[in-house]
Amino acid sequence: MYLGRVMGSIVATVKDRNLHAQKLMIVQPLNPQLIPTGKQLICTDAVGVGAGEIIYYCRGKESSFPFLPAEVPTDTTIVGVVDEVRAEC
Amino acid sequence: MLIGRVIGEMVSTEKHASHVGRKAMIVQPVNLDGSNRGEAVIALDSADAGVGDRVLLVVEGFSAMTAVGRPNSPIDAAILGVIDEVHLD
């Protein structure tokens, strides 16, 4: 999993039917020092997060597992809200 | 599998149910010479690793879920073991 900050959300009316009712959040990946690293991406949301929150997200096929038995076509999903990061470097 | 160095811990209260009860560690993948190899990841711990430990790391869903014992969960990285020694011939 990877750290990120929620920058906003995306609204799409016409989309894959299996994405129906999914929140699509814009996420800026962060490094362990919480400094932005890399490019923003769109994540589905399995916990219910809001803009500005520091979160962690899962990549790959595993991203669709929180929504089982629905088969949601996603490659990144927010799986937790981060309270604290203790990193030495 | 990769060699990683545990550089920190992450605390999260609100998270996916499959992550509850497992420590989330920040792990920096490293090369054999100890230099950094790519970006740090958040891995669930199945080996009781601590900060500073050199660990065996997987960054793929099936192996990570199996190690943590939570099938069909949004888990894409896990610590499988703590490395005592590396022998190079």
CATH architecture label of A2-80: Beta Barrel (2.40)
Say how many domains are in chain B: 1
A8 vs chain B: nearest CA distance in angstroms?
19
- Is the CB of residue B42 less than 8 Å from the CB of residue A1? yes
Taking only the tens place, the pLDDT of each residue in B5-55 is 999 999 999 999 999 999 999 999 999 999 999 999 999 999 999 999 999
Residue A86 and residue B24: Cβ atoms within 8 Å?
no
Please determine, for residue B83, whether its predicted confidence score (pLDDT) is greater than 70.
Answer: yes
Asked if B20 contacts B13 with a C-beta cutoff of 8 angstroms, the reply is: no
pLDDT at residue number A88: 81
Residue B74 resides in a domain: yes
Residue A12 — pLDDT band, cuts 50, 70, 90?
very high
pLDDT greater than 90 at residue A42: yes
| pLDDT band per the 50, 70, 90 thresholds, residue B61 | very high
Residue B77 lies in a domain: yes
CB atoms closer than 10 angstroms to residue A67: 18
Lookup result for tokens 């690793």 = B49
Residue B89 lies in a domain: no
Nearest chain A residue to B20 by CA distance is A80
Domain that holds residue B61: 2-82
Helix (H) or strand (E) holding B64: helix B61-68
Q: Are strands B78-82 and B41-45 parallel, antiparallel or unpaired?
A: parallel
Name every residue in B having a CB less than 8 A away from some CB of A.
7-16, 19, 24, 26, 39-43, 51-52, 60-61, 64-65, 72-77
Quick check: A58 and B14 CB within 8 A? no
Q: Which two tokens stand for residue A10?
A: 């995306």
How is residue B49 written in tokens?
């690793």
Q: pTM for this one?
A: 0.92
Contact A79, B82 (CB under 8 A): no
Q: Is residue B87 part of a domain?
A: no
pLDDT(B65) > 90? yes
pLDDT of residue B89: 86
- Nearest by CB to B7, from A61, A65, A87: name it: A87
Chain B environment of A77 (Cβ under 8 Å) = 74
Distance from CA of A19 to the nearest CA of B (A): 17
Confidence of residue A78 (pLDDT cuts 50, 70, 90): very high
pLDDT of residue A89: 63
